[in-house]
Amino acid sequence: MAELTEIRWHARAGQGAVTASKLLAETALLKGNYIQSMPEYGPERTGAPLRAYSRISSEPIEVHNNIINPDIVVVLDETLLSIVDVLEGISSQGILVINSADSPDTVRATIGAAPGIKVAAVDASGIALDTIKRDIPNTPVVGALAYISDIVSVDDLKQNLINTFGKKFSQQLIDANLESVDRAVKEVQVA
Amino acid sequence: MAEVTVLAATGNQMVAEAFRQAAPDVVSAYPITPQTAIVENYAKYVADGRVHTEFVPVESEHSALSSCIGASAAGARVATATSSQGLALMYEELHIASGMRLPIVMANANRAISAPINIHGDHSDVMGARDSGWIILFAETAQEAYDNSLIAFRVAEHPQVQLPVLTTLDGFITTHAMERCELLDDTTVADYVGQRQPCHPLLNGPAVGHGMFASLGGTYFEVKKAQRQAIDGAAGPIAAVGKRWAEVCGRSFESIDAFMCEDADYVMVVLGSAAGNARVVARELRAQGIKAGVARVRLYRPFPAEQLVETLKNAKAIAILDRSDSFGAQYGPVGLDTRTALYQCKRHIPTHNYIYGLGGADVTLQALHQVFTELRALAQGNLDQGLSYLGTR
């Protein structure tokens, strides 16, 4: 893994972006990494656009500012594309993971992503509605991210999901979340 | 041997854990963003029976500190937490707590003060308490918020100190960011913090009064002199108690955390969470052959003037960063402190004071690079020794 990976999350309040960024960071922590996970707080209203940030590194992390040049951008809600420049500052070899039923080529054309940027699209909302029975796309998106990047393995992610969700959710809901990860791994398309 | 649990936790969670492990007899608090999770977590520990603290959910911060004062005077170990307008509402009790020499530990989630209203991190609130006679510590990270909070109990209750302690962490940046943290086992921490041995408790001892009427100079004047001597004299016990914690946890405790300052030409003086950003920039400059250093003030009151000057003595130019302003004064609070310390120790090194990050404004690496660039101009006499707002339009 790279010494420091910086991730920026774009979502609407209520979609679980903060939980997703914490799930990813905690999984990385359990594998011996240093982590940071922080939401950018503003007036909190369900549906309002929000950002969250994660840093994962094999070395201690000293910076505490917002992430300006992310290695990875995760978009939980594609309706944000028309109001937020999600690619702002992304590194030239960056990765974009988006919750979208469109193909990655269509997404790339829509937002004008440079050729060096890897675009991964997964219909996380569709998967969440099928498995979790609610449009909470965070778990399948993190599953897709784990699969297409080398930050954490899908198996470690699922194990951590069992450990953390096990404390507060029913077995049925945990199984649905695990299934959503498997579906995302199978269905994510990269271009 | 201490048992260590590695976990992902926010600064607020770590302060709540420190309080739980120090097991105060009384916690009286009122929630306010961005401190709420400290009080919320602590209330849960009480509800779950994990601590046997008398938890007093009061109706305001004024009442929170008032009841802490009563409980502390009675002889109890006492803790609370607040932020911003809450700390401002405690203003009169701040002075009563220190004047009565009560070893209360209070966490503060450093936040802007209204107006305009703003919930984000800066040091405007805590600087309003800097002359109130409390010992003040600034944490850089969630881990250090935990360490400082535990050290705070030992310092406050130290027989030679007997003063309240503010253990502060930056709002949102430290209170809400989840980081890799280490939690020591309860027994090790309990052994470290020990039990409070109250000097003149209202309960369980001969009848005494605290904070009694002291008219027209005389006793009042002498009590205040004793308070000045107590906080000045606290430096030694703070160093000893901090060093003891460093031995237990393996993380150092220095009142001034100096990074590559020995041979540095250009040094940045900073408090709290922005120090990590400053070190990253200093390291980048070192790689280019520019001798940059960072001096982080971890203990703010009593101000470690001699240690700071010792750290800065070889610098050609110094940037003093303030996350609050002292309107109408020549400089911001840290600017005033640092310049006074340099003058006191007869070191005439040019300084420039930067006000940064008010209302949670992001402290970008680019802005900190600009500061170091300006320090080179300052060393050559091409920048005045005044005050600038960093990164404003």
- Is residue B303 located within the same domain as residue B193? no
- Is residue B294 located within the same domain as residue B373? yes
Last-in-domain residue among B227, B249, B271: B249
Give the pLDDT confidence of B235-247 residue by residue, as tens digits. Answer: 999 999 999 999 9
Span B82-91, mean pLDDT?
Answer: 98
Give residue A134's pLDDT.
Answer: 92
Encode chain A in three state secondary structure.
CCCEEEEEEEEECCCCHHHHHHHHHHHHHHCCCEEEEEECCCCCCCCCEEEEEEEEECCCCCCCCCCCCCCEEEECCHHHHHCCCCCCCCCCCCEEEEECCCCHHHHHHHHCCCCCCEEEEECHHHHHHHHCCCCCCHHHHHHHHHHHCCCCCHHHHHHHHHHHHCCCCCHHHHHHHHHHHHHHHHHCEEC
Per CB-CB distance under 8 Å, the chain B contacts of A29 are 6-8, 180
State how many domains chain B has: 2
Which two tokens mark B255? 């009142």
Whether residue B155 has pLDDT greater than 80? yes
CA distance A102 to chain B (A): 33
What's the CATH code of the domain at B121? 3.40.50.970
Q: How many CB atoms lie within 10 A of CB A101?
A: 12
- Is residue B343 located within the same domain as residue B242? no
Give residue A39's pLDDT.
Answer: 86
Give residue A83's pLDDT.
Answer: 93
Whether residue B262 has pLDDT greater than 60? yes
Q: Test A35 with B8 for CB contact under 8 angstroms.
A: yes
A72 touches chain B (CB under 8 A): no
Most confident of A40-44, A136-140, B299-303: B299-303
Whether residue A1 has pLDDT greater than 80? no
d(CA B1, CA B49) in angstroms, rounded, equals 27
B208 touches chain A (CB under 8 A): no
d(CA B58, CA B81) in angstroms, rounded, equals 12
Report whether B315 contacts B330 (CB < 8 A).
Answer: no
Per CB-CB distance under 8 Å, the chain B contacts of A65 are 277, 362-365
Q: Which domains does chain A have, with CATH numbers?
A: 4-190 (3.40.920.10)
Cβ-Cβ contacts under 8 Å between A and B: the total is: 59
- Is residue B269 located within the same domain as residue B245? no
Last-in-domain residue among B221, B249, B277: B249
Whether residue B135 has pLDDT greater than 90? yes
- Is residue B75 located within the same domain as residue B178? yes
Report whether B123 contacts B322 (CB < 8 A).
Answer: yes
The SS3 of residue B167 is: strand
- Is residue B142 located within the same domain as residue B236? yes
Give residue A87's pLDDT.
Answer: 97
Give the pLDDT confidence of A142-153 residue by residue, as tens digits. Answer: 999 999 999 999
- Is residue B37 located within the same domain as residue B157? yes
Give the pLDDT confidence of B285-340 residue by residue, as tens digits. Answer: 999 999 999 999 999 999 999 999 999 999 999 999 999 999 999 999 999 999 99
Of B204, B135, B214, which Cα lies nearest the Cα of B168? B135
Mean model confidence pLDDT for chain A: 93
Least confidently predicted of A89-103, B79-93, B207-221, B379-393 = B207-221
Span A167-178, mean pLDDT?
Answer: 92
- Is residue B223 located within the same domain as residue B265? no
Span B12-20, mean pLDDT?
Answer: 98
B172 touches chain A (CB under 8 A): yes
d(CA B103, CA B101) in angstroms, rounded, equals 6
- Is residue B230 located within the same domain as residue B353? no
Give residue A2's pLDDT.
Answer: 56
Which two tokens mark A162? 């069992």
Give residue A40's pLDDT.
Answer: 83
d(CA B166, CA B163) in angstroms, rounded, equals 10
Give the pLDDT confidence of A85-99 residue by residue, as tens digits. Answer: 999 999 999 999 999
Span B134-138, mean pLDDT?
Answer: 98
Q: Test B177 with A37 for CB contact under 8 angstroms.
A: yes
Span B133-156, mean pLDDT?
Answer: 98
**Reported pTM:** 0.96
Q: How would residue A44 be classed by pLDDT, with cut points 50, 70 and 90?
A: low
- Is residue B189 located within the same domain as residue B265? no
CA distance A18 to chain B (A): 11
Are β-strands A72-75 and A4-12 bridged in parallel, bridged antiparallel, or unpaired? parallel
What's the CATH code of the domain at B352? 3.40.50.920
Q: How would residue B204 be classed by pLDDT, with cut points 50, 70 and 90?
A: confident
Q: Which domain holds residue B348?
A: 256-389
Last-in-domain residue among B203, B220, B249: B249
- Is residue B193 located within the same domain as residue B272? no
Q: Test B178 with A68 for CB contact under 8 angstroms.
A: no
Report whether B103 contacts B241 (CB < 8 A).
Answer: no
- Nearest chain B residue to A63 by CA distance is B277
A129 touches chain B (CB under 8 A): no
Q: Test B8 with A64 for CB contact under 8 angstroms.
A: no
A79 touches chain B (CB under 8 A): no
Mean model confidence pLDDT for chain B: 97
Per CB-CB distance under 8 Å, the chain A contacts of B112 are none
Nearest to B363 among A33, A41, A65 (CB): A65
Give residue A41's pLDDT.
Answer: 73
Q: Test B172 with A37 for CB contact under 8 angstroms.
A: no
Amino acid at B71: A
- Is residue B154 located within the same domain as residue B281? no
Q: Test A66 with B365 for CB contact under 8 angstroms.
A: no
d(CA A177, CA A136) in angstroms, rounded, equals 10
B279 touches chain A (CB under 8 A): yes
Q: Test A41 with B119 for CB contact under 8 angstroms.
A: yes
